[in-house]
Amino acid sequence: MPEKPKFNKTSLKVHRDALVKYEKFLPILLLKKMQLQLVIRQLEPVLEAKRQELEETAKTIEPWGELLSEPTVDIEDYLQIEEVRTRKDNIAGVEVPEFDQVVHRPVRYSLFATPVWLDDALKALRRLVDIREELKVLLEKEKLLREELRTTTQRVNLFEKKLIPELKENIRKIKIFLGDDETAAVGRAKLAKAKLAG
């Protein structure tokens, strides 16, 4: 908004109105910034816990991981994701994904033609996939929130450090100019009156 001001009463009103509008909007931006910071701070331990859970679940699979490479069983035939279900949530005006569940494609197999460990392996691997997908959604949520925080911080800085100070300075300059102009007009009127009288 602030540009080189025109030194008239209309420009003064425009600048004052803009200043009022910006000063009302700035607290809203500051509140949004604080909300985003709070949510990101709350999300960090959740992310860390989910990473830890993923790591621990992967460790439980390690002891029998070699069985997964048996040529008789291609685990990918049995472990397929149909979809990752998420819903949308709104946090401080930002639409973010919330994890619901992973839907695994149902695969039929013969209990007699497959190794005995396959059932347990599939349960553990599905759990691992569920945690991994939930972590992906959480990371996407964090990314969106951090992007919005960056944008909001830039806006707050623009309002606090540039727009509002420029408007105040322009208002001050216009007031000085109008005051000087009014004083000069009074002086001219007195001169004109003195010439008419004399």
pLDDT at 2 over 60: no
2: in domain: no
- The bridge status of strand 81-91 relative to strand 94-104 is antiparallel
86: in domain: yes
Strand-pair partners of 90: 95
197: in domain: no
- Give this prediction's pTM: 0.83
Dihedral of alpha carbons 69, 74, 77, 78, sign: negative
Strand-pair partners of 83: 103
196: in domain: no
83: in domain: yes
Rounded Cα distance, 51 and 58, in Å = 11
pLDDT band at 56 (very low <50, low <70, confident <90, very high): very high
84: in domain: yes
Q: Which domain holds residue 68?
A: 9-190
Concatenated DSSP letters for 22-36? HHHHHHHHHHHHHHH
136: in domain: yes
Helices 164-197/9-61 angle, 10° precision: 180
4: in domain: no
Q: Residue 160 sits in a domain of what CATH number? A: 1.10.287.3240
Q: What is the pLDDT of residues 61-81, one digit of tens each?
A: 888 777 777 777 777 888 889
**Which residues, other chains included, contact 75 with Cβ-Cβ below 8 Å and sequence gap of 6+?**
68, 121, 122, 125
The Cα-based distances of 179 to 50, 96, 103, 183, 186 in angstroms read 66, 53, 73, 6, 11
Q: What is the pLDDT of residue 3?
A: 63
How many structural domains does the chain have? 1
